[in-house]
């Protein structure tokens, strides 16, 4: 029987030799990740009500990112609960103000090809970039995992997104995802497994692959997957390459083929990531704010893209940068990438989800028009309901900042 990567990962976690799409299975969870918002403050009272303990504290990772830096009594209380709870529950894997959970988790070596993992956040499919089955759950479902170490799953079909060729200079994983979401809609993934394949995907560095799998959430897939290869091995510093991949000719629900070489930079207009067109369609839009932030838009690779465009240029609008992790921030500083952004006039925000989550500290004011490297532009998500957010790659956000209007980064990279 030919199996997809998704089937292999689920079968392993279910203790089975194979599984069939559509059947309901119970999987053992190798890793449960939580952040400060949906994590300790929500699960602690429920665990207490049950009188239950965490099934295996060594398999739990807690990362603060939504309410850091703290800015008021409520956020301080939420972070305090997280800090106290990890101590009480004996959770050793605690990363406090180190960056955004989806970036910190693999950066600190918690993901391995072949794993089955859940995260208390919708962008948890990011873990699929490492050939791990990872998906988002809510707080009560997380409670179930913490108590039992298990979770039910309807074995997914696989939707293959196959990109031949190579993305052009100035085009990135974010453009691939905005294109796919525009093409297939917010429910195009049908809550199945979306597998990214082909020469253009293989050529992407790890953090770009993470951006693809991350935004599988906006495509409506349960998880996004990429088979493991040398790039995975090198990023995770694994001693050996553990090959996790779909069998050739394993049946899939759909196999969509594209040539990445044809892809132009994409922009999603307010208020949906599916509201996508080529960047050239938006030349007349003049944002007042450019934002480079979030797990899907401010990793080291993302900061490098922005700096390539902004080198020797000044931003003609407010440019805010919130690096996705402390390690990436330091690496960007050491290699001079941050200096380029600084010289272009960027203001830096603290480590964390920042404006993307819209949870407090910094949010968009009334009628602000922003261009942002984040994942979602739903109405009111990043602040006032009257704010207008255009989504684009770090290249395009940087080019827009430099041009004073939405700009094709390829014009500035020549």
What is the spatial distance between Cα 135 and Cα 114, in angstroms, rounded to a whole number? 14
Which residue in 1, 24, 239, 414 binds other proteins (CB under 8 A)? 24
Of residues 71 and 348, the one with the C-beta less far from other proteins: 71
Which residue in 16, 28, 44, 46 binds other proteins (CB under 8 A)? 46
CB contact at 8 A, 154 and 23:
yes
Q: Interface with other proteins includes 165 (CB under 8 A)?
A: no
Q: Give me the torsion for CA of 353, 225, 389, 358, rounded to 10°.
A: -30
Which residue in 22, 51, 239, 312 binds other proteins (CB under 8 A)? 51
Residue whose entry in the numeric block shows the structure tokens 């050239």:
280
Of residues 61 and 137, the one with the C-beta less far from other proteins: 137
Kindly state the smallest distance separating residue 216's Cβ from other proteins, in Å: 11
Q: Interface with other proteins includes 187 (CB under 8 A)?
A: yes
Kindly state the smallest distance separating residue 264's Cβ from other proteins, in Å: 25
Task: Looking at residues 268 to 327 of the shown chain, list those that interact with other proteins (rule: CB under 8 A).
Answer: 272, 274
CB contact at 8 A, 101 and 68:
no
Of residues 141 and 229, the one with the C-beta less far from other proteins: 141
Kindly state the smallest distance separating residue 272's Cβ from other proteins, in Å: 7
Which residue in 75, 126, 158, 246 binds other proteins (CB under 8 A)? 75
Structure tokens given for 197 = 């394949």
CB contact at 8 A, 368 and 288:
yes
Q: Interface with other proteins includes 229 (CB under 8 A)?
A: no
Kindly state the smallest distance separating residue 251's Cβ from other proteins, in Å: 21
Q: Interface with other proteins includes 199 (CB under 8 A)?
A: no
Q: Interface with other proteins includes 380 (CB under 8 A)?
A: yes
Q: Interface with other proteins includes 228 (CB under 8 A)?
A: no
CB contact at 8 A, 400 and 406:
yes
What is the spatial distance between Cα 387 and Cα 370, in angstroms, rounded to a whole number? 8
List Cα–Cα distances, 348 to 98, 109, 268, 321, in angstroms. Answer: 15, 27, 24, 5
Q: Interface with other proteins includes 359 (CB under 8 A)?
A: yes
What is the spatial distance between Cα 119 and Cα 35, in angstroms, rounded to a whole number? 8
List Cα–Cα distances, 310 to 59, 300, 336, 346, in angstroms. Answer: 41, 15, 12, 10
CB contact at 8 A, 364 and 384:
yes
Q: Interface with other proteins includes 144 (CB under 8 A)?
A: yes
Q: Interface with other proteins includes 137 (CB under 8 A)?
A: yes
Q: Interface with other proteins includes 49 (CB under 8 A)?
A: yes
Structure tokens given for 397 = 């956000």
Element containing residue 349 per DSSP (H, E): none
What is the spatial distance between Cα 141 and Cα 153, in angstroms, rounded to a whole number? 12
Residues that bind other proteins (CB under 8 A): 24, 37-38, 42, 46, 49-52, 66-67, 72, 74-75, 78, 120-122, 124, 135-141, 143-144, 147-148, 152, 154, 185-187, 191, 217, 220, 222, 272, 274, 357-360, 363, 376, 378-381, 383, 385
């Amino acid at each position: 029987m030919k199996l997809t990567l998704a089937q292999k990962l689920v079968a392993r976690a279910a203790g089975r030799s194979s599984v069939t799409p559509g059947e309901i299975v119970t999987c053992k969870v190798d890793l449960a990740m939580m952040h400060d918002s949906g994590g300790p403050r929500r699960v602690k009272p429920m665990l207490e009500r049950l009188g239950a303990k965490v099934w295996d504290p060594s398999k739990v990772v807690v990362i603060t990112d939504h309410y850091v830096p703290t800015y008021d009594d409520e956020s301080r209380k939420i972070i305090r609960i997280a800090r106290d709870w990890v101590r009480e529950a004996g959770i050793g894997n605690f990363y406090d103000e180190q960056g955004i959970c989806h970036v910190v988790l693999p950066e600190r070596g918690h993901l391995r090809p072949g794993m089955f993992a859940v995260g208390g956040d919708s962008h948890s499919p990011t873990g699929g970039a490492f050939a791990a089955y990872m998906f988002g759950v809510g707080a009560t479902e997380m409670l179930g995992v913490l108590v039992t170490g298990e979770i039910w799953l309807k074995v997914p079909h696989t939707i293959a997104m196959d990109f031949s060729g190579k993305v052009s200079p100035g085009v990135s994983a974010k453009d691939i995802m905005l294109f796919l979401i525009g093409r297939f809609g917010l429910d195009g993934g049908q809550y199945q497994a979306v597998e990214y394949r082909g020469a253009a995907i293989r050529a992407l560095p790890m953090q770009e692959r993470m951006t693809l799998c991350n935004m599988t959430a906006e495509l409506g897939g349960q998880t996004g997957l990429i088979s493991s290869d040398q790039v995975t091995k090198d990023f995770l510093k694994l001693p050996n390459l553990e090959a996790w991949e779909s069998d050739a000719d394993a049946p899939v629900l759909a196999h969509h083929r594209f040539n990445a070489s044809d892809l132009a930079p994409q922009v999603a207009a307010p208020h949906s990531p599916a509201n996508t067109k080529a960047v050239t369609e938006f030349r007349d839009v003049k944002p007042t704010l450019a934002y480079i932030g979030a797990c899907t838009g401010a990793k080291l690779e993302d900061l490098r893209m922005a700096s390539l465009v902004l080198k020797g240029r000044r931003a003609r609008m407010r440019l805010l940068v919130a690096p996705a992790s402390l390690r990436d921030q330091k690496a960007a500083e050491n290699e001079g990438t941050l200096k380029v952004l600084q010289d272009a006039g960027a203001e830096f925000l603290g480590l964390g989800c920042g404006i993307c989550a819209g949870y407090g500290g910094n949010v968009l004011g009334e009628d602000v028009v922003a261009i942002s490297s984040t994942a979602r532009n739903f109405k009111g998500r990043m602040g006032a309901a009257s704010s207008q957010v255009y989504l684009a790659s770090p290249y395009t956000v940087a080019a827009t900042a430099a041009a004073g209007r939405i700009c094709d980064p390829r014009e500035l990279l020549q």
